[in-house]
Chain A
Amino acid sequence: MKYIFWPVLFVGALVLQWWWSTYLSIGGLAPQCLLVLTVAVAAYRGPEMGQGMGFFWGLFLDTLGVHLFGAHALLLSLMGFLVGRLRRQVDVASLPPQVLAVWVLSIIYSLLYHLLGLMFLREFLWWGWWAFVFVPIMNACLAPFVFYLIDWTERATG
């Protein structure tokens, strides 16, 4: 079960991210499902898994985009590493830390992405205030469901 689950989760997350941003975006805004998933996987499975999944999900996002090939991969693998390392200091089983962590990491992610744009493209890839404010909130709202899914899988697969 667990050997099937992770590949399925990986591909399913790709499709979910694409589907949500294509069909369910509100005013062009959609939650960053892959970021939330990376945080959740790293929180439950450690930095290796978090980094690995985050890196490849990031590559997927980079492949879909046109600018900064490698930025999402770098940022998501960093998020996975960071959360994986800090997971023992945070109670990932309770709701407030999950929401707060995802909200903070979303803002950091956004800022770092803009910073990478400034570094490598010499322009600040600003998504706009709406996206800067609401996407982290959307991510935070999605976090409990994603954490619950990973938690349930952890318990189900042992």
Chain B
Amino acid sequence: MSTEVALHNTPLVEEHIALGAKMVGFGGWNMPLQYEGILAEWEHNRKTCSIFDCSHMGEFMVQGDAIQSGLDGIVTQRIADMPVKTCRYGTMLNEEGGVIDDLIIYRKAPQEWMMVVNAAHREKNAKNFKNHLTSPANFKDISFETAKLDLQGPLSRDILKTLVPDIAQLEYYTFDEFVLLGQKCLISRTGYTGELGYEIYYPWEKSKELWRRILKNDKVNPTGLGVRDVLRIEMCYSLYGHELSEEISPLQAGLDKFIDFEKDFIGKQALLKQKAQGHHHRMGYFISDSRRSPRAGHRILDLSGNPVGRVTSGTFSPALQRGIGLGFIEAGKNNIGSKISFGDEKTIVSAVISQRPFYKNGSLKH
């Protein structure tokens, strides 16, 4: 007898299993953790090109004027001035200023928007939109008809160009509609790896053909969520449930530049209050003095051994050949160059607070 809740499958689950992926439950979905191994997949992504199945992520459509629809007031990023065919990252908050989710908004037309949200909180997010949009009828969840394949790595443009010649003109954080293997689809130049890359929103039932076609190119390897996490930690990108939650404000999480204080949005008053009072803890980024790596939940200590924070994400960094971590650290103990340590009751490891990102040589904006 199993008490586990059934996991959703992406349209590519059989492909992953056939390729020998180690599968894992993530955000309610049955997802590939790794194929060849995290280090090999890291190497391939940073130097060549990887494909990720991100069909678990949620996609919502909203129709209407930015302001009148209520959309602008739900999210922290400014959307009214977004040019069509651009995307913008931001968050949506509760009244207390805590993060309901982080999301990217795509402006498809002056009055047509697509939001991409995390898989685990799709239903919670949908509810939040429907509750706060002027008319819930303008909202549509297209998650289960939309597959999402991420092609990421320095060679991704050259590889995608062989299937979509016009892709070369796409600039960072812009998108367009293209015809790919006979299917109309949306492709954005976005990603979560720090490398040049594309996110392809493709018809769910046709995605297997696209996956197979892209993998026919021997420069492309399939890549799992394990290395995706390593890549995003090297870039200091937040992951909901780690750096972000309903108890954490985007200011604490270091996402200040994705908040537009010139407009009204849910949670703004709480954020203004936080700004006035200052923060006890803020996101810090640190590098281990050794290969020993911080892990989520580890304590962070100052030089005298006093607890000053908590690790939210940690990993071994193949780029630095050191452990790296993200965590909330007390104000005053969080200055770049400050020495700290991290660990649990068994092991304490020295580290130093660093600038973000840890990985600076990516092809992201090439």
- The answer to whether A and B belong to the same complex is no
